[in-house]
């Protein structure tokens, strides 16, 4: 089999896992974070992008990393995996003239958003997340393979909202009830009009609905609705994941389209249940009218979302 660019990067990034930094923090060989196969894709070429007013993003492997680098502070939202976290941290050090990272946020507990926590935590002042995230990280760790390193937990949490000034930016984190998991927060850069949605936002992709971790499609739909009402019209939304070839930054219209997707999922599921359809029959639905362009694959499929919707609407 021909060695393509992705495999080359995978091979070269393995070197990061045994870097002096990784050794210093007790990291073992390249960790296999506990997450379904669909959430641990091969790395793409690392990419830094400016979004607006000192807020930017980094993509390589797993959930989109957001960052803020201004004169007063360095902030990171989510940490991907150990190898890509190292690449991101090195790039941010250059942008920030080697200043220490003031704060790391985890938008939620999934491995493709927290797998690089140890790499960032070793060089940051604080790691914060919503109050349910530590328990959810521990739950995943309890079922992980024996040689998996213990998760790096947040050292501070918040329940509903959290806010602080960082340089000339005001950052507010908000928990709006269960969505993609039971502990998702969105991180709003209020002066930049940019919000990192974590996995509350998938751009043109079938999402993961993590019911064992407390997800709720019905409330997720409301979160999307409320957020677009509450935030300024020109807000740029950073998605956790996007369809291959599409950007991870979108506008309000795309967020409302994702709300409409859930509306269509719930409508179809309610009809199916009312007609006596089984969960298996419902999950076998080939396409969702109006959303045929959504990317599926691996563990993230329309069938998976419909099965979660069936369970949610049947559980009363």
Name the residues that contact Zn ion, by CB under 5 A.
110, 199
Helix/strand/coil for 263 = helix
* CB closer to Zn ion, 70 vs 139: 139
> The tokens of 89 are what?
């941290």
Task: Give the span between the Cα atoms of 296 and 276, in whole angstroms.
Answer: 26
Name the minimum Å distance from CB 214 to Zn ion.
Answer: 12
Name the minimum Å distance from CB 208 to Zn ion.
Answer: 6
CA-to-CA separations, 223 to 8, 219, 277, in angstroms, rounded? 40, 6, 29
* CB closer to Zn ion, 192 vs 302: 302
Name the minimum Å distance from CB 28 to Zn ion.
Answer: 24
* CB closer to Zn ion, 154 vs 272: 154
Residue (of 41, 55, 42) closest to 196 by Cα position = 55
Asked if residues 149 and 119 have their Cβ atoms less than 8 Å apart, the reply is: no
Name the minimum Å distance from CB 127 to Zn ion.
Answer: 17
Name the minimum Å distance from CB 200 to Zn ion.
Answer: 9
* CB closer to Zn ion, 96 vs 113: 113
* CB closer to Zn ion, 110 vs 196: 110
Task: Give the span between the Cα atoms of 234 and 15, in whole angstroms.
Answer: 41
Residue (of 196, 41, 42, 25) closest to 117 by Cα position = 25
CA-to-CA separations, 95 to 23, 41, 188, 231, in angstroms, rounded? 25, 27, 21, 28
> The tokens of 102 are what?
């003031």
Task: Give the span between the Cα atoms of 261 and 81, in whole angstroms.
Answer: 29
Name the minimum Å distance from CB 99 to Zn ion.
Answer: 29
* CB closer to Zn ion, 83 vs 184: 184
> The tokens of 17 are what?
């896992």
């Amino acid at each position: 089999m021909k060695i393509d660019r992705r495999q080359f990067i995978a091979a070269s990034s393995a070197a990061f896992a045994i870097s002096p930094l990784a050794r210093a923090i007790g990291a073992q060989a390249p960790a296999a974070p506990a997450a379904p196969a669909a959430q641990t894709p091969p790395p793409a070429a690392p990419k830094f992008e400016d979004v607006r007013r000192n807020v930017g993003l980094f993509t390589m492997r797993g959930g989109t990393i957001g960052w803020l680098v201004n004169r007063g502070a360095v902030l990171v939202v989510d940490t991907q995996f150990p190898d890509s976290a190292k690449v991101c941290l090195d790039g941010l050090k250059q942008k920030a003239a080697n200043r220490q990272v003031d704060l790391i946020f985890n938008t939620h507990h999934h491995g493709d958003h927290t797998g690089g926590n140890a790499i960032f935590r070793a060089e940051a002042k604080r790691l914060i997340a919503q109050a349910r995230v530590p328990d959810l990280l521990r739950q995943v760790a309890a079922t992980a393979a024996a040689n998996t390193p213990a998760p790096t937990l947040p050292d501070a949490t918040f329940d509903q909202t959290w806010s602080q000034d960082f340089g000339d930016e005001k950052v507010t984190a908000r928990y709006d009830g269960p969505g993609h998991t039971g502990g998702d927060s969105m991180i709003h850069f209020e002066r930049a009009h940019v919000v990192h949605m974590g996995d509350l936002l998938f751009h043109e992709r079938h999402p993961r609905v993590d019911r064992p971790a407390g997800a709720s499609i019905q409330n997720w739909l409301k979160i999307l609705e409320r957020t677009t009402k509450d935030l300024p019209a020109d807000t740029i939304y950073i998605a956790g994941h996007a369809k291959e070839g599409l950007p991870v930054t979108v506008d309000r219209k795309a967020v409302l389209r994702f709300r409409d997707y859930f509306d269509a999922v719930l409508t179809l599921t309610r009809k199916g249940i009312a007609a006596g359809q089984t969960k298996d029959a419902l999950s076998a639905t080939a396409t969702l009218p109006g959303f045929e362009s959504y990317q599926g694959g691996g563990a993230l499929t329309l069938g998976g979302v419909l099965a979660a919707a069936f369970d949610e609407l049947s559980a009363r």
